[in-house]
Amino acid sequence: MAQFSWTDDLHTRNELIDGDHRKLIDLLNVLFEAMDSAQGNQRMSKAMNDLIAYTGEHFAREEAEMERIEYVAALAHKAEHAKLLEQIVELKAMLDAGGRINIPAVSDFLSEWLRNHILAADMKLAGALKHQPSSEPLPQLH
Interacting residues with Fe ion between 93 and 112 (CB under 5 A) = none
Measured from the CB atom, the residue of 48 and 122 that comes closer to Fe ion is 122
Distance CA 91, CA 16 (A): 28
- Residues 6 or more apart from 59 whose CB is under 8 A from it? 78, 81, 85
Q: Given the rule CB under 5 A, which of 20-28, 36-44, 61-69, 95-103 is the region that contacts Fe ion?
A: 61-69
Interaction between residue 65 and Fe ion (CB under 5 A): no
Report if residue 122 touches Fe ion, rule: CB under 5 A.
yes
- Rg over CA atoms, the chain: 17
- The nearest distance, CB 122 to Fe ion, in angstroms, is 5
Report the alpha-carbon distance of residue 70 to residue 105 in Å, rounded. 36
- Name residue 38's amino acid: A
Residues 16-55: x/- map of binding to Fe ion (CB under 5 A)? ----------------------------------------
CA distance 64 to 58: 10
Short-list 54, 53, 30, CA closest to 40: 30
Nearer to Fe ion, 93 or 120 (CB): 120
Give whichever of 62 and 107 is closer to Fe ion, judged by the CB atom. 62
The residues that touch Fe ion, with contacts defined as CB under 5 A, are 62, 122
